[in-house]
């Protein structure tokens, strides 16, 4: 495990982020920036820290990922001296990232107008359930609520069952990803003008942004999209099909690709059959076509069928779980998952940095740090605090 910077790396090197808040919606944005070399200083409550430190199948399993490459300091922002120390740090930073309920920063005297007066170049990244304005702004908002109100939950699952959770905290991650994108847009604006600004990323709006044509489908055609399980109605064949050792996803809905699938099935006549020859015809007979393909695929094992699909240029893939990822040769060749040294977990693997930049690649320099591990470094280097100062602050409960 690295205990200090490995040296500058990544496209965001020399940029500093102060990360406030906790759980996932804000911290995942910080993770993305830290992965590409930004100095991300995570500010946590003394004694407790981010609840993510305890999350995971084994307590603490999530923390090494979401806090990787970050530096941890403790600071009580509910106390006036803690707020004053943060304002001193803001004078020397590029980004301030927070995901508290709107109104919290204002109550602490850490609102954007106050901080902008200290540092006009500051970019303040704010992630919340419903945004910083509007009648719902001060409501508590978790990712699940954003997924529901953004329209995603209504489309997740099967039509004869209640809406389903996707399986990951996608609402939080989307809001964080849009926050990161907004921050980099604001950075480009600052390069041209010298001015910082505020980035307002709302959970429900991040989900809404991914909802394709669902809104105009209603306003123009009066159609409200509903849950359809594993298929997209009218797009066929595109589904999970049974094989001897599981299921394989095959996407052959384009005319030319369906013709190649028919050849692989040794049924080339299917591509000229009026029932299946066009996109719309296949869509009308989606269930019938899926049954026909399933009857063929179930005589293969997964690897044999995948090889056949590759030979004929038909998109196909296994439905991976973590064990599949670790042993897959493509994952291995690109190091899509990699092992990371950790003082507690001996066999810690995690997803690698994305996206990949050719000239300024990011890296995983160290996993999530211990609570307050960088107090001496950050407060000494940025605020000029001595060991005696730090001892006083700790005894006072400020850090």
Active site residues: 172
The token duo for 212 is: 């394709």
- Write out the chain in H/E/C secondary structure: CCCCCCCCCCCCCCCEEEECCCCCCCHHHHHHHHHCCCEEEEEECCCCCCHHHHCCCCCCCCHHHHCCCEEEEECCCCCHHHHHHHHHHHCCCCEEEECCCCCHHHHCCCCHHHHHHHCCCCEEEEEECCCCCCCCCCCCCCHHHHHHHCCHHHHCCCCCCCCCCCCCCHHHHHHHHHHHHHHHHHHHHHHHHCCCCEEEEEHHHHHHHCCCCHHHHHHHHCCCCCCCCCCCCCCCCEEEEEECCEEEEEECCCHHHHHHHHHHCCCHHHHHCCCCCCHHHHHHCHHHHHHHHHHHHCCCCHHHHHHHHHHCCCCEEECCCHHHHHHCHHHHHHCCEEECCCCCCCCCEEECCCCCCCCCCCCCCCCCCCCCCCHHHHHHHHHCCCHHHHHHHHHCCCC
Q: Alpha-carbon distance 176 to 160, whole Å?
A: 32
| Torsion over CA: 101, 102, 107, 113 (sign) | positive
């Amino acid at each position: 495990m690295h205990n200090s910077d490995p040296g500058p790396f990544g496209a965001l090197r020399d940029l500093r982020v102060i990360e406030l808040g906790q759980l996932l919606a804000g911290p995942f944005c910080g993770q993305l920036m830290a992965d590409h070399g930004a100095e991300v200083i995570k500010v946590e409550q003394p004694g407790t820290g981010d609840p993510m430190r305890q999350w995971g199948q084994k307590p603490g399993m999530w923390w090494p990922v979401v806090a990787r490459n970050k530096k941890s300091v403790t600071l009580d922002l509910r106390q006036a001296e803690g707020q004053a120390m943060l304002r001193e740090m803001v004078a020397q930073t590029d980004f301030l990232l927070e995901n508290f309920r709107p109104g919290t920063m204002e109550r602490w005297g850490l609102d954007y107008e106050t901080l902008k007066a200290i540092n006009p170049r500051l970019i303040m990244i704010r992630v919340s359930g419903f945004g910083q304005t509007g009648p719902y702004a001060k409501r508590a908002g978790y990712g699940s609520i954003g997924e529901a109100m953004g329209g995603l939950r209504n489309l997740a699952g099967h039509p004869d069952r209640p809406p389903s959770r996707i399986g990951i905290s996608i609402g939080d991650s989307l809001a964080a990803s849009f926050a990161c994108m907004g921050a980099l847009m604001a950075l480009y604006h600052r390069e041209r003008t010298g001015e910082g600004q505020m980035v307002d990323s709302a959970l429900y709006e991040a989900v809404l942004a991914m909802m394709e044509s669902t809104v105009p489908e209603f306003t123009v055609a009066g159609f409200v999209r509903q849950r359809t399980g594993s298929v997209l109605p009218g797009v066929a064949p595109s589904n999970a099909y049974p094989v001897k050792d599981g299921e394989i996803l095959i996407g052959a809905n384009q005319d030319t690709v369906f013709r190649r699938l028919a050849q692989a099935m040794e049924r080339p006549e299917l591509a000229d059959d009026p029932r299946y020859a066009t996109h719309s015809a296949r869509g009308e007979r989606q269930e019938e076509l899926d049954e026909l393909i399933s009857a063929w695929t179930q005589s293969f094992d997964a690897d044999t069928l995948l090889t056949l699909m590759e030979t004929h240029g038909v998109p196909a893939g296994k439905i991976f779980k973590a064990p599949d990822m670790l042993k897959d040769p493509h994952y291995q060749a690109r190091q899509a998952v990699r092992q990371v040294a950790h003082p507690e977990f001996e066999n810690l693997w995690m997803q690698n940095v994305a996206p990949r930049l050719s000239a300024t690649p990011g890296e995983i320099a160290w996993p999530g740090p211990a609570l307050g591990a960088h107090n001496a470094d950050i407060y000494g280097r940025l605020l000029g605090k001595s060991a005696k100062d730090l001892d006083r602050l700790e005894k006072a409960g400020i850090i």
